Amino acid sequence: MSMWKCWFRRLAQFAFVAAAAPAAAQSWAWDDGTVPFVVTPEEIVERMLRVAEIGPTDRLLDLGSGDGRIVIRAAQKYGTRGTGIEIDPSLIARSLANAAAAGVSDRVNFVAQDLFDTDLAQASVITMYLLPEFNLKLRPRLLALAPGTRIVSHDWDMGDWVPDESLELRTPEKAVGRDGRSRVFLWLVPADARGRLVGEIADHGGAWEFRFDQKYQQIEAAARVQGHDLVVRGTRLRGREIKLVVTGVVDGRPWNQLFRGEIDGDTVRGEVLVSNGESARRLPWTAKRHP
Ligand SMILES: C[S@@+](CC[C@H](N)C(=O)[O-])C[C@H]1O[C@@H](n2cnc3c(N)ncnc32)[C@H](O)[C@@H]1O
pLDDT tens-digit series, residues 25-37: 444 565 566 789 9
Give CA angle at 242 (241, 246), nearest 5°. Answer: 155
Q: Which residues of 241-266 are buried (b: 16+ CB within 10 A; e: fewer)?
A: bbebbbebebeeeebebbbbbebeee
Task: Tell me the CATH number at 62.
Answer: 3.40.50.150
**What's the mean pLDDT when you consider all of the chain?**
90
- Whether 3 shows a pLDDT value over 90: the answer reads no
CA-to-CA distance for 236 and 144, rounded, in angstroms? 20
Same domain, 23 and 57: yes
CA-to-CA distance for 44 and 70, rounded, in angstroms? 10
- At residue 33, the pLDDT reads 64
Q: What are phi and psi of 156, to 5 degrees?
A: -110, 140
CA of 135 to the centre of ligand 1 (A): 12
- Whether 251 shows a pLDDT value over 50: the answer reads yes
- Whether 49 shows a pLDDT value over 60: the answer reads yes
How much is the average pLDDT of 151-158? 97
Mutate to test the pocket of ligand 1, among 129, 153, 185 (most ligand atoms within 8 A of CB): 129
Same domain, 37 and 103: yes
- Whether 271 shows a pLDDT value over 70: the answer reads yes
- At residue 174, the pLDDT reads 80
Same domain, 35 and 171: yes
- At residue 21, the pLDDT reads 35
Task: Tell me the CATH number at 260.
Answer: 2.40.128
- Which atom of ligand 1 sits closest to the CA of residue 68? 5
Same domain, 228 and 164: no
Same domain, 43 and 172: yes
Rg (Cα) of the chain, in Å, rounded? Answer: 23
Is the whole model's pTM more than 0.75, yes or no?
A: yes
Percent of the chain clearing pLDDT 70 (strictly above): 88
Same domain, 207 and 145: no
Where is the domain boundary, 165, 188, 211?
188
Residue nearest to atom 23 of ligand 1 (CA): 64
Domain carrying residue 257:
195-290
